[in-house]
Amino acid sequence: MNLKWKRLAALLAVMTLVAAACGRDDSSSSSDDSGSSDTTDSGGDEASGAFIDPSIDCADYEGTAGIDGDTIKIGTIRPADGPYAIYDQVTTGLDAWVTSVNSEGGIKAGDGNTYKVELIKENDSYDPGKTPALAQKLVEQDGVFAIVGTIGTENNLAIRDYLNDACVPNIALATGSTNWGDADQYPWYISGLPSYALEANYWADYIADTKPEAKIALLYQDDDFGTAYQKALTKAVERSNNDNGTTLEIVGEQGYNPLSGTTTEAAVTSLSQTGADVFIVGIGGTPCPQTLTFIPESWAPETYISVTCAGNTAMSLAGGKDVGVIQAQATLDPADPADADQEAVKEFKTKGAAAGLDEGQLDGGITSVGWGFGSFFGMLVENTDKVERADIMNTAFSLDQPAFGLVRPDIEIKTDGAADPWAIEGFRIAQRNADGGWDELGPVKNRNGESNELAG
């Protein structure tokens, strides 16, 4: 605890220095009724300044929009109906986090004030064609301070230009698409998940370590999400063979189109005939556990699954075929008996239950992700010396602290502007056991600043 405070203090000191160095234009935050002191306006050299300087980057910068007295208004967009309505559970988690924070009085921000949070939810039915108007509504009509935990790669892409041009933070995107690595061009975006490409590299590294002659069969979802795995894995295999002398080989590769209305059964059957001894399932949602049920008895590959389907809800759909699958794991699993004693898990379960989450939601691995996005936002507010849009993003892009929320304790949270825009860049390798938990095969390794380079 003591250490935590020391680090926080150090971080604040760094933040103050950084802010002091940038000579921010403060005209837009003049109506600061919260009484925070403005000691950071000492002016200075622009060159070594903070990552975002709204006086240069923003045409109409409204830094404190959405902050009304002691309330911060945030918005999120998710599918509440239709075939992807399952992701609404993520937002339920975010909502529960908000309820929980407010019931405790609010978030104690770096500026000394305590803020309550108001969450406005919009429904785009997962259709990226509907997302832009909703983002516009949140920003222009509801006047939110930031967008938090919005679902879907394509949906977040659809509003990327708008939010960046309007200088509105989009925090903890519910996707690990490699697109979010471009903080140089889009500095108002920060992902709430690790990069999918980085995840694929952890698989590849572990395979190279343990099975240097592995024959790999790859099944990937035919969209931004799945092709991120496919590209990164292909590149990682090549690199490992060149640098480490392994003879990894991708012997079979199949794309799966979730809009096609078929199952992965034919593809899995085909891949089972390739003689592969490693099977990588780079798909999400229910088709992922279903794929495990299609693996024929005659084929017993070492199977890797996407972190997006490693939660208890998805795994329980595999009809027992989940035992033995391997994942690269970045968060604590509330359903894992081995993680039950972790402070963060206990806290999540107590507070989550108090905020109205039921047992299935607490253990399912979907709702907890949304809770994590809330914690991400809360962590940024706590660490920001001044609750203003640009400052929040500058905090987000200069993090250096231990894990927060349900992120695994050994993972370091480090960012550094466009050079390292990914907050979570660590995984451990874990294997599903028969008790619904995960056995550690390889400890947490941090690869800070490598996500972009490894994207392929």
Partner 1 sequence: MRSTTPNWLRWGGGALIAVVLIALPFQFEAFRVNQFITWMCIAVAAAGLNLLTGYNGQISVGHGALYGLGAYAAAILVTRTTVPMLLTIVIAAVICFVAGVAIGLPALRIKGLYLALVTLAVAVLFPALVEQFSSLTGGGRGLALVVPQEGCPRGRPECPVRWESPFGGLENDQWRYFLALAITVVAFVLVANLVKSRVGRSLVAIRDNDIAAESSGINVSRTKIITFGVSAAIAGVGGGMLALLNGNPRVNPTSFTLLVSIYLLVAVVVGGASTVIGPAIGALVYGVFTDVIGPELPGRFENATPVILGVLLIIQMLVAPNGIVGQFKEIQAKMASRRSGGAPEVHNGATPVERDTP
Partner 2 sequence: MNDFLEVLVVGLGNGAIYAMLGLGLVVIYRSTGLLNFAQGELAMFSTFIVWTIWNAGVPMWLAIIGGMFGGFLIGILLHQVAVSPLGDPHEKPLAVVIVTIGLFLALNGAAQLIWGTVDKRLPPLFGTGQVTIGGVSIQWQKIGSLLVLAAMVGLFLVLFQRTKVGLAMRAVASNSESAGLCGVPVPRILMLGWGLAAATGTVAGVFTAPQLGLGTNLMQLTLIFGFAAITLGGFDSILGAVVGGMVVGVLSSIVPQYVSAFERMPLAPAFILILAVLLFRPQGLFGSKQVQRV
Residues that bind partner 2 (CB under 8 A): 81-83, 85-86, 88-89, 222, 254-255, 257, 259-263, 265-267, 269-270, 272-273, 286-287, 289-290, 293, 296-298, 313, 316-317, 319, 360, 364, 366
Three-state SS at 262: coil
Cβ atoms of 130 and 155 closer than 8 Å: no
What does DSSP say about strands 146-148 and 426-432: parallel, antiparallel, or unpaired? unpaired
Of 114 and 185, nearer to partner 1 (C-beta) is 185
Window 72-111: contact mask with partner 1 (x via CB under 8 A): --------xxx--x--x-----------------------
Cβ atoms of 136 and 92 closer than 8 Å: no
Among partner 1, partner 2, none, what binds residue 368 when CB lies within 5 to 8 Å by partner kind?
none
Query: What are the structure tokens assigned to 238, written together?
Result: 């090549």
**174 vs 363: CA distance, rounded Å:** 19
Shortest distance (Å) from residue 289 CB to partner 2: 7
Among partner 1, partner 2, none, what binds residue 384 when CB lies within 5 to 8 Å by partner kind?
none
Among partner 1, partner 2, none, what binds residue 89 when CB lies within 5 to 8 Å by partner kind?
partner 2
Of 137 and 445, nearer to partner 1 (C-beta) is 137
Among partner 2, partner 1, none, what binds residue 234 when CB lies within 5 to 8 Å by partner kind?
none
What does DSSP say about strands 249-256 and 189-191: parallel, antiparallel, or unpaired? unpaired
Shortest distance (Å) from residue 263 CB to partner 2: 5
Stretch that binds partner 1, among 6-14, 223-231, 309-317, 351-359 (CB under 8 A): 223-231
Burial of 77 (0-12, 13-18, 19+ CB in 10 A): buried
Stretch that binds partner 1, among 70-78, 222-230, 306-314, 404-412 (CB under 8 A): 222-230
Judged by CB under 8 A, the chain residues 197 through 216 that form the site for partner 1 are none
Burial of 162 (0-12, 13-18, 19+ CB in 10 A): middle
Judged by CB under 8 A, the chain residues 226 through 255 that form the site for partner 1 are 227
Of 99 and 240, nearer to partner 1 (C-beta) is 99
**279 vs 289: CA distance, rounded Å:** 13
Among partner 1, partner 2, none, what binds residue 37 when CB lies within 5 to 8 Å by partner kind?
none
Judged by CB under 8 A, the chain residues 119 through 138 that form the site for partner 1 are 122-123, 126-129, 131-134, 136-137
**154 vs 224: CA distance, rounded Å:** 8
DSSP 174-196: B---GGGG-TTT-TTEEESS--H
**108 vs 117: CA distance, rounded Å:** 11
Window 151-190: contact mask with partner 1 (x via CB under 8 A): --xx--xx--xx-xx------------------xx-----
Q: What is the DSSP letter of 243?
A: H
Query: What are the structure tokens assigned to 48, written together?
Result: 């070594």
Q: Which of 32, 68, 70, 224 binds partner 1 (CB under 8 A)?
A: 224
Among partner 2, partner 1, none, what binds residue 266 when CB lies within 5 to 8 Å by partner kind?
partner 2
Shortest distance (Å) from residue 86 CB to partner 1: 12
Burial of 36 (0-12, 13-18, 19+ CB in 10 A): middle
Among partner 2, partner 1, none, what binds residue 184 when CB lies within 5 to 8 Å by partner kind?
partner 1
Shortest distance (Å) from residue 151 CB to partner 2: 12
Shortest distance (Å) from residue 132 CB to partner 1: 5
**309 vs 136: CA distance, rounded Å:** 31
Of 80 and 418, nearer to partner 2 (C-beta) is 80
Three-state SS at 171: strand
Judged by CB under 8 A, the chain residues 255 through 314 that form the site for partner 1 are 257, 259-261
The Cα-based distances of 225 to 47, 55, 331, 353, 440 in angstroms read 36, 35, 19, 32, 26
Of 38 and 184, nearer to partner 1 (C-beta) is 184
DSSP 269-319: HHHHTTT-SEEEEE--STHHHHHHHHS-TT---EEEE-GGG-SHHHHGGGT
- Nearest partner of 306 among 122, 161, 176, judged by Cα: 176
Q: Which residues bind partner 1 (CB under 8 A)?
A: 57, 80-82, 85, 88, 122-123, 126-129, 131-134, 136-137, 140-141, 153-154, 157-158, 161-162, 164-165, 184-185, 222-224, 227, 257, 259-261
